[in-house]
Amino acid sequence: MYFPEGLMLDPNHPQVSTLSLFGYMITILSWEFELGLAALLIFSNKKPGFATLSLLLILSGSMTVFLIVRGKRDFARLRFTKGRIELSGIQATMVTVFVVLFGGTLGLIAMNIVNQ
């Protein structure tokens, strides 16, 4: 096959926007906090306030609705992608920090429940 000089074939390297990825991770973390506070309310002597639980539930719910709308657009754009979706360096760093925060938060919630 002959390609004229200067013609570059752009391989299919789809990416998710950093803002969308950040939003997805923060939403997951907020739901983790919500479920952790509910677990503390049920299993612990320390009772988080009703206002705290309500505010976090409103925040988590509104972020979820926003990201459902945004996610439909992201997934529609990536629908015909074959193979993996590459992350930029900053996105990979964000995912790493998120995984560490997620695990650490789960550990702290479990320790608070056990120590009560």
81 domain residue, yes or no: no
Q: How far is CA 86 from CA 11, 23, 24, 73, 78, in A?
A: 12, 18, 16, 18, 12
Q: Could you tell me which residues come within 8 angstroms of residue 97 by beta carbon, excluding any fewer than 6 positions away?
A: none
Q: In total, how many domains does the chain have?
A: 1
Interval 20-56: pLDDT, tens: 888 888 898 888 888 888 888 888 777 778 888 888 8
pLDDT at 10: 47
pLDDT of residue 84 exceeding 80, the answer is no
64 domain residue, yes or no: yes
Of 11 and 79, the structure prediction assigns the larger pLDDT to: 79
For residues 64 and 38, what is the distance between their CA atoms, to the nearest angstrom? 18
Q: How confident is the model at residue 7 (pLDDT cuts 50, 70, 90)?
A: very low
42 φ/ψ angles, rounded to the nearest 5 degrees: -80, -45
- Kindly state the average pLDDT of the residues 51-78: 87
Q: Could you tell me which residues come within 8 angstroms of residue 60 by beta carbon, excluding any fewer than 6 positions away?
A: 27, 30, 31, 33, 34
> Taking the chain, what is the end-to-end CA distance rounded to the nearest angstrom?
71
9 domain residue, yes or no: no
> What residues make up the domain containing 28?
18-76+91-114
Q: How confident is the model at residue 12 (pLDDT cuts 50, 70, 90)?
A: low
